Structure 1
Amino acid sequence: MSTSTQVRPSRPIGGFRGGLLGFSAGFVAASLGSYFYLIDDYRVQRPQKSNESIATTVASVSKESVELGKKFSRIDALEDDFDSLKSSIKDEIDLKSQRTQSEVQQLQSEVSDLRTYIVSLEQDISRYFASNRDQYIRI
């Protein structure tokens, strides 16, 4: 008895099917590796490591908040100094402005007095020459 077996022709796996199968296998392997890594990292056997990292983070945040508070208090102190300087400079400028105004008024008063004196001198001179005109015209 001779039985002949028929050999089916082999069909190559197409590029699309091979790419899809390779992608799926790689995705599953990467997912499993990541899953086991996370499980190993956060096991109950290692709580001290995570607690230490949390404590370090809390300590650094606390330190930074204290430094930030110091900087804010320094800014407040500088603002107060600035306000006091601003008010003292304003007072000084007002005082100088008042002094300048009084000096200007005093000078204006002196100029007015001088003008009045010059006008009175001119009038006296013109009266003198008017009354003694005959004496000086003789030649």
Structure 2
Amino acid sequence: MSSSFARLALVSAPPSSSRPLALLLPSCRSISVTPPSFSAAPPPPPAASAVPSTVGSFKPSRPVGGFRGGLVGFLLGFTVASAYASYHLLDEYKHATDLLLESVRELEGSTAKMSDHVRRIEEVEGKVKQMREDGAGKEDVKKLRQETKKVYDSLRLEFLDVKSHVWGLEQDLGIVTKKNTYQIV
């Protein structure tokens, strides 16, 4: 223990001052220690100068107290945090507004496409309605089918008549050619 006390150096201020004492430790760190006050009487008031001051009175600045420093620190921290939060809030608001604007533009595009499709559908419906009015109905198709069958049957009968007539001509031609055959010797 005596070797550790030997290495400690005590740096002190004059006993009349209220400055703290600094102890130098072996690891070269200093520790501040405030010496106890030995006088029970308050310090004497400053002497009034015989020459009046013309510049004004100087008021020494008071050190910032714990409460006042805490309040100033709180207000400063609150202001910085509020500014940071409002910056991020405005950034988020801008981002959300941009997304909403993009969504509205996409909606406009899809609405234009839908209106174009609806217009095309209405045109097609009008053409279909016109075709229904101009086109043949079921009764018309039935009548046309019956007329087509009658025409087909009449053509078939005529074809059979022509075929029988041609056959008769072939028979007559065959008989005539057999009688008028000449033999060449």
Give the structure-1-normalised TM-score.
0.51
Q: Which residue of 1 aligns with 2:99?
A: 85
Instruction: Mark the runs of 5 or more structure 1 residues left unpaired by the alignment.
Output: 1-46
Which ranges of structure 2 fall in alignment gaps of 5 or more residues? 1-61, 151-185
Q: Partner letter of residue 120 of structure 2? A: Q
Provide the C-alpha distance between the structure 2 equivalents of 1:115 and 1:52, rounded to a whole number of angstroms. 91
- Helix, strand or coil at the partner of 1:122: coil
2: CA distance between counterparts of 1:52 and 1:78? 38
Aligned match of 1:11: none
Give yes or no for the alignment of 1:104 onto 2:113. no
Aligned counterparts of 1:115 and 1:122: Cα–Cα separation in 2: 13
Alignment root-mean-square deviation, CA: 3.0
Letter in 2 for 1:60: F
TM score, norm. by length of structure 2: 0.39
Task: State percent identity of aligned pairs.
Answer: 6
How many residue pairs end up in the alignment?
86
Tell me the SS of whatever aligns to 2:135: helix
Q: Deviations over 1:41-100 (max 9, x none)?
A: xxxxxx65x623222221111111111011100110121012112211111111111111
Question: Bigger radius of gyration, 1 or 2?
Answer: 2
Please state which structure has a larger fraction of its residues in strand.
2
Higher percent of residues as helix: 1
